[in-house]
Structure 1
Amino acid sequence: MVTKVETDFKLKLVDTVYGCPETGVDLTAKFVTEGSSEKLTYNYFEDASLSSHLRDSTHVVLAGTYYIQAKGENGCSDTKPIHVKLTAPVIQVTYPEPVRYPATVDITKTFIKLPDNTYGYYADIHATIPLINYTAIDKSGMYFIKVQSAFGCEQINPVRVTVLPPFPFVVTAPNVFTPNNDGVNDSFALHIEGYVQFGNLDIFNRNGQLIYSTKSPTAFWDGNFKGKDLPAGTYYWIFNGLDTYYNIRIKESGSISIIR
């Protein structure tokens, strides 16, 4: 109510001030009364009767309707209501189903995005270590999604990702081959399944002499040594490689018999 006429007296308030439950709002902020007359003195109340002053108008942590009274230098005054809304961003995360490597998990698909919010993805609960591969996570663990509202409110939610390890690698080889150029079973090679990096394959005779060596997973041994056919008998192979999933070295061995 205006108690004395002032030609330049005007109280103008924003209708609603939005904030976060944990930080509240500042009703003394400049934008709240922007457009009002200059050199006004403001008082802040909890009720329309102006009987209860706000204890801390710079840190209002309860939503509701409050009242701001403005007084001019010549004694004019006016009081208007202002609404405070405190809203935390909402995010409901659904843990993804387990997958088996090399399948990956996209944690951006574990919740519904809202257009007014922004999202970040992190490796720690304090949201200080950003994830680079959040759309293709290939390791089990607990990851974290931070949502921020348009008003700066934040919430951090965990999401558990389970990526099962690949099935164990398999290195097998025939125990007999017949290098007689008939087009059937004429060469020897390893059969490898899984995440294995080929190192080298060495083949020895009974005396421990190295008669064949290759670093190529597609190479085949034709039963020759220095361009000559080796006699029928038993030979021994040793394979060295790397399990690229667990990053551990592999050593497998066996025997192969030549039948002519």
Structure 2
Amino acid sequence: MRILVTVKHTPDLQSQRSFTDGTVTRTADDGTMNELDENAVEAALQIVEAAGEGEVVALTVGGPDAVAAVRKALQLGAHKGVHVSDEAIAGSDVFGTATVIAAAVRKVAEEQQVDLVITGMAALDGLTSMLPTALAAELDWSQLTLASALTVGDGEATIERHLPDAHETVSAPLPAVVSVTDEANKPRYPNFKLIMAARKAEIPVWTLADLGVDASAVGASASRTTVVDASERPPRENRVTVTDTGDAGTQLADFLIEKGLA
């Protein structure tokens, strides 16, 4: 069993965000691995451990700083990592990103077959949840999305999915693309040995040329969406400060009623 996990280097959501030429400004000191991707790494590790054999490969797409996401996946237990980095990729939308990742999956599979691609349910900087579906379409693989539980056996993947008014159990033949939610598992903590090994690990860097992807098919110029304007959030005005002297709850209720919110 060989599983590829996509991990994204995303900006710290608690930091002040800004845009440059229609894209999020990214700096080396405030990025981290997308938190929801930790569930994807954990799901892959559990499958390999249950089978008693296999390999988990962490893949990221991004600038030089994005390699930190791969190293974090290695700290959690992934066996190998791949970093796709090319200036022409900058500004890609979900379709361009899916094109690049699909090409990387095929290149990884040249060495050994990839049975499963697992992603997080969303990237916290975009929150579209569109990549798993776009990637499955690009690879022409089965797709199982928003899994709250995942098992693999007898050549197929089976997920449980919790919806507002239903509970689904869905299966699909391998190879497949699966996205997991934060309900799927509790990610493990890295141990010291893996932290040190991840720091020294050699992570190959692939360009579009290595993947055989035409630069005109990705990047901002090929994006199907465009940011036409971005401005800083205006400061809040007319704030009401309530000093609690024992009746703050009543004051809050009166305020909500006055504004028609209760």
Q: TM-score range by the shorter chain?
A: under 0.3
Larger of the two Rg values belongs to structure: 1
Instruction: Tell me the TM-score normalized by structure 1.
Output: 0.21
Instruction: Tell me the TM-score normalized by structure 2.
Output: 0.21
Structure in which a larger fraction of residues adopt helix:
2
Structure in which a larger fraction of residues adopt strand:
1
